[in-house]
């Protein structure tokens, strides 16, 4: 009797196991595909927003006035006479609100526009819409300037030695081309992302600044080992950084052209060769504004570099969602 009951019990378990397996694998009952990782789902969501953006405004990387080669300014050059001369008005930013606008009275060419506070707020509101609130808390100053069409499109610069607070500057004339303006804002945020006080340490030995030890050194500090900038530098720049310095690529336009032609497959734009910090900002902008690439070239690998960081994949999707909201306003 006990043996009969055991056989019945065992047969029941086998039947239930078989039935359970069929339930798990039965098409249509429960999804029979391998569950996608959260990152893959987030990437697809971002690509969906990007497709909608393209339907509204076309390819965001294709704009008429200016070019990716001009999207931003190297941080070491941010105190240049060009910016000082072309500044129109500068605002304090407190809790995302502009206040205490100071007009540059020396810029007599833009006296009328200096008083157009509505347009100044419009430019700032575009930045607020596109860049998530928790990512722009270190922007304490906003400057509107213009040096004409398609020269300097925008810049960021730290307001303190430790990189805790920053100023964002935009060229109001170049902002007329919406895609141009969107590109610029995302590029400039790329600098804020990679050069903030969580990515750099300011108290390092200035005597060894030019020696470039084990981590990437900016004019304002040394990158931490796990920072985006240092990981990017170690992967893409360490092999020809000294050559780049020796050729004075940062300051010599002919050297820039020659360096780009020699390493054309390594850079997404010719402007990216001007500095490692510009290169990562350009790659960041392409990461946001186009789909994942096939990794056939170093340039494509640079664009895909950010996918290894889940938090940046989420940021990409959030920015694209916000950009879609901004694009629908037009």
Task: Assign 202 a pLDDT band (cuts: 50, 70, 90).
Answer: confident
Provide the pLDDT for residue 288.
98
Q: Of the given ranges (70-74, 127-131, 166-170, 237-241), which has the lowest mean pLDDT?
A: 70-74
Rounded to an integer, the average pLDDT of 163-172 is 93
- CB 99 within 8 Å of CB 292: no
Cα angle 306-308-309, degrees, rounded to a multiple of 5: 75
Which tens digits make up the pLDDT trace of 274-294? 999 999 999 999 999 999 999
- Three-state secondary structure along 204-220? CCHHHHHHCCCCCEECC
Q: Which residues of 312-330 are buried (b: 16+ CB within 10 A; e: fewer)?
A: bbbbbbbbbbbbbebbeee
Comparing C-alpha atoms, which of 197, 243, 242, 241 is closest to residue 222?
A: 197
Contact by Cβ (8 Å): 91, 142: yes
Residue 2 DSSP SS3: helix
pLDDT 10s digits, 64-123: 544 444 444 343 344 466 677 899 999 999 999 999 999 999 988 899 999 999 999 999
Q: What is the mean pLDDT of the chain?
A: 83
Extents of the domains making up the chain: 56-63+198-323, 68-192
pLDDT digits (tens, 9 = 90+) for 217-266: 877 788 899 999 999 999 999 999 999 999 999 989 999 999 999 999 99
* pTM of the shown model: 0.84
Model pLDDT, residue 83: 78
Residue 212 tokens read as 């470039």
């Amino acid at each position: 009797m006990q043996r009969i009951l055991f056989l019945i019990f065992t047969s029941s378990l086998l039947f239930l196991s078989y039935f359970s397996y069929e339930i798990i694998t039965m098409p249509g009952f429960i999804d029979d595909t391998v569950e996608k990782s959260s990152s893959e789902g987030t990437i697809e969501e971002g690509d969906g927003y990007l497709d909608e953006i393209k339907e509204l405004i076309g390819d965001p990387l294709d704009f008429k006035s200016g070019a990716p080669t001009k999207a931003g300014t190297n941080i070491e050059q941010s105190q240049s006479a060009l910016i000082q001369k072309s500044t129109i008005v500068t605002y304090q930013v407190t809790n995302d609100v502009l206040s205490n606008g100071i007009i540059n009275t020396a810029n007599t060419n833009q006296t009328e526009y200096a008083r157009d506070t509505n347009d100044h707020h419009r430019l700032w509101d575009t930045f607020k819409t596109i860049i998530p609130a928790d990512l722009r808390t270190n922007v304490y100053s906003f400057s509107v300037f213009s040096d004409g069409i398609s020269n300097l499109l925008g810049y960021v610069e730290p307001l303190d030695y430790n990189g805790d607070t920053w100023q964002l500057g935009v060229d109001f004339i170049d902002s007329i081309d919406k895609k141009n303006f969107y590109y610029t804002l995302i590029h400039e945020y790329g600098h804020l992302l990679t050069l903030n006080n969580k990515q750099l340490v300011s108290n390092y030995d200035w005597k060894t600044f030019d020696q470039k030890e084990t981590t990437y050194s900016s004019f304002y500090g040394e990158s931490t080992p796990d920072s985006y900038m240092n990981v990017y530098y170690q992967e893409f720049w360490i092999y020809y950084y000294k050559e780049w310095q020796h050729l004075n690529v940062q300051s010599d336009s002919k050297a820039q052209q020659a360096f780009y032609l020699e390493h054309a497959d390594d850079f997404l734009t010719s402007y990216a060769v001007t500095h490692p910090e510009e290169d990562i900002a350009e790659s960041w902008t392409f990461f946001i504004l186009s789909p994942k690439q096939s990794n056939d070239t170093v340039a494509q690998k640079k664009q895909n570099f950010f996918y290894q960081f889940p938090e940046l994949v989420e940021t990409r999707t959030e920015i694209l969602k916000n950009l879609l909201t901004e694009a629908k306003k037009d």
